[in-house]
Amino acid sequence: MEKLRPQLLRSLEDYSREKLMKDLIAGVIVAIIALPLSIALALASGVSPEQGLYTAIVAGFLVSALGGSKVQIAGPTAAFAAIVAGIVARNGMDGLAVATILAGILLVLMGLLRMGSMIKFIPYTITTGFTSGIAVTIVVGQLKDFFGVTFRNTPIETVEKMEEFISCFDTVNLWALVVGCIALAIQIVWPRFFKRVPASLVAVIATAAMVGLLKLPVNTIGDLYTISGGLPRFALPALSYETVAAVLPDAFTIAILAAIESLLSCVVADEMIGGRHNSNMELVAQGIGNTASALFGGIPATGAIARTAANIKNGGNSPVAGMVHAVVVLVTLVFLMPLAALIPMPCIAAILLMVAYNMSGWRTFLQVVRRSPKSDAAVLLLTFFLTVIFDLVVAIGVGLSLACLLFMTRMANVAVIKEWKYVEDEDAQGRFRHVPEHVMVYEIDGPMFFGAADQIPHIDPRETRRVMILRMRSVPALDITALNSLARLWKECQRHRVQLILSHVNEQPLSVMRKSGFYEAVGEEWFCPNIDTALELASKL
């Protein structure tokens, strides 16, 4: 089992001046990318601009320093925007801090309990569904600022926001729409010609200059928010039983989503660098990073795939690059934060629209819907619509429940129990073994669990054969429900004076039988290593 050791310690064992220079360059470039994104994602989450930067600084530094990936960059991401906005609206900033701290504790426990590998059991249809759903909620949330619409109410839910936008569309600000379209066009066109300088930064500078010089009637961040350029300050949230009870479901959602997104980002990074991350160490680092972020005024953080990829492409080769990125963001916060007040809100909306488009994976979404089995497509669509209409808690809960039911149904269909009149030999010659007239042989093929337990046969009271052989060589696993059905069959055999013989019971089913007492009740002599031994024993009865 892999030890919980930060990747930074391993990277420093053979660190060199050349690697340091690459990490410094990559860290600065990633910080330039993270600056406008962190501000935009903070505003989308319903918090102040600097809180996004606090998250990039505190969580970004700690996750890089303690994480299990060489190149992971952590910070605020779009996946949390709708969740955070909802928590803030319902429970305020203290509620958000408590939820984030609880999520951090849960993530640390997941890592300590070696649950990193369990994230792979989240179905692809669910991750695709809620990712696309989150993208839609981000788009709907940015329509107001992109079109410069003035809302009469302050809706929270996505559907309510869409209804409010439509009803207030007569207040559209054409200058805001022009600024938003220019920012969007820059982000689409700029990367085709200039890849070194982030398009979002160019869009911010260009539109801020345009609005400032031309005195356009467009809202900026400074018009709507009071911006603080000070250092992040440690503060404990107001803690109470009522607050914990109210935000506990949100904390579970944050923890699960942070684990999924962070480990997916690590997998993508591994493919790009040909490396291997320590998933459990990464979960511990994410937990510590989120807890610290909340204590210093930040919001939930996770591994950011786009920023991680930018780190790799610009030469980042150790966690030092992520730590440099956090330090650069900190310096910018202290000395340049007042300039953020000049950024137009339509530009922020345009940046988030691009983030939503890039994370939506609409091609993958359509491909899964068109080419997958109908049951998988149903799980994806249900998760997607529940994310948009309700929230991620409902979507993941219902999606996982439906996926589990479908899995159990499929596994139950895989398990087959059939009676043999002759038994195929296990040797290379492919011979057949004849079954005596007083013996019945049932072959069980597939895992036996509660979904397939009802397939275990019953004894017909009119049965004249005196021996039943259960051939279990193809049963890899057995649960207590299926074992209970086996015990029922054994009692029926006793009642009708039929001897039950079990052939080739594998390790896991045998272990379950021993622990439950079934093995001793049946008797060791009635467990045979193979079908030949079982038939030989049956023929003597």
At residue 431 the predicted structure's pLDDT band, cuts being 50, 70 and 90, is: low
Token pair belonging to 500:
């039950």
* Structure confidence at residue 164 (pLDDT): 94
* Dist CA 117 CA 440 (whole Å): 43
Asked if pLDDT for residue 141 goes beyond 90, the answer is: no
Query: Under 8 Å CB-to-CB from 522, ≥6 apart: which residues?
Result: 490, 500, 502
Instruction: Collapse the DSSP code of 5 into the 3-class scheme (helix H, G, I; strand E, B; otherwise coil) and give the result.
Output: coil
Amino acid at 197: V
Distance CA 89, CA 46 (A): 8
**What's the CA gap between 401 and 403, in Å, rounded?**
5
Residue in the structure block whose two tokens are 């622990």: 515
38 with 76: CB under 8 angstroms? yes
Query: CB–CB of 100/294 below 8 Å?
Result: yes
437-458 confidence digits (pLDDT tens)? 899 999 888 888 877 777 888 8
| Contact present, 244 and 98 (Cβ < 8 Å) | yes
Backbone dihedral angles phi then psi of residue 392, each to the nearest 5 degrees: -70, -30
Task: Decide: 272 and 32 in contact? Cβ < 8 Å.
Answer: no
How crowded is residue 90: how many other Cβ atoms within 10 Å of its Cβ? 13
Lowest mean pLDDT among 87-91, 208-212, 432-436: 432-436
* pLDDT band per the 50, 70, 90 thresholds, residue 428: very low
Helix, strand or coil for residue 47? Answer: coil
Q: What is the mean pLDDT of residues 241-268?
A: 89
Residue 520 above 90 pLDDT? Answer: yes
1: pLDDT strictly greater than 70: no
pLDDT for residue 55 is more than 90: yes
Name which of 115-124, 243-252, 491-500 the model is least confident about: 115-124
Give tens-digit pLDDT for 76-87. Answer: 988 888 889 889
Residue of higher predicted confidence among 72 and 313: 72
pLDDT higher than 50, residue 224: yes
Kindly state the helix (H) or strand (E) to which residue 472 belongs, with its residue range.
Answer: strand 467-474
Among 299-303, 379-383, 390-394, 415-419, name the one with the lowest average pLDDT. 390-394
Tell me how crowded residue 289 is: count the other CB atoms within 10 A of its CB: 32
> pTM higher than 0.75, yes or no?
no
Count of H-run helices and E-run strands, the chain: 21, 9
d(CA 215, CA 306): 34
Report the pLDDT value the prediction gives residue 264, as an integer from 0 to 100: 80
For 497, other C-beta atoms within 10 Å of its C-beta total: 9
